[in-house]
């Protein structure tokens, strides 16, 4: 049962965990944006950089001003905790630059 505090401000949230995808992530995000824009729905792509050690963070920076993409750069915590963080962000109506760098204390536990 959704209440007003549980409702997402968009029709679809795409949770995208990313690790060391410097070479392809820009094309992947652009492709998703093109397809989703063609559907005429209100969407948000949450791109979670899970502590990449290549140039993924720099590549993702080109999307920081995109209204439909939320870029989150965080320390590596693995696939499961990263997905959970994405779900928590999607459920939140707070999408601000403070989410672009998530401190460890705000990450969901893997337990």
Convert the pLDDT of each residue in 33-71 to its tens digit: 999 999 999 999 999 999 999 999 999 999 999 999 999
| pLDDT of 92 | 85
In the chain, pLDDT over 90 holds for what percent of residues?
A: 71
The greatest distance separating any two alpha carbons of the chain, rounded to the nearest whole angstrom, comes to 42
HEC profile of 65-98? CCCCEEEEEECCCCHHHHHHHHHHHHHCCCCCHH
| pLDDT of 95 | 52
Of the CA atoms within 13 Å of residue 71, those in its CB half-sphere come to: 18
């Amino acid at each position: 049962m959704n209440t007003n505090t549980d409702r997402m401000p968009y029709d679809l949230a795409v949770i995208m965990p990313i690790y060391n995808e410097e070479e392809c992530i820009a094309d992947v995000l652009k492709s998703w944006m093109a397809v989703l824009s063609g559907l005429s729905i209100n969407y948000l792509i949450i791109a979670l950089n899970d502590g990449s050690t290549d140039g993924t963070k720099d590549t993702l920076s080109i999307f920081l001003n995109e209204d439909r993409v939320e870029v989150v750069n965080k320390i590596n915590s693995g696939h499961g905790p990263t997905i959970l963080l994405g779900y928590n962000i999607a459920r939140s109506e707070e999408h601000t630059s403070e989410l672009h760098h998530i401190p460890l204390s705000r990450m969901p536990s893997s337990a």
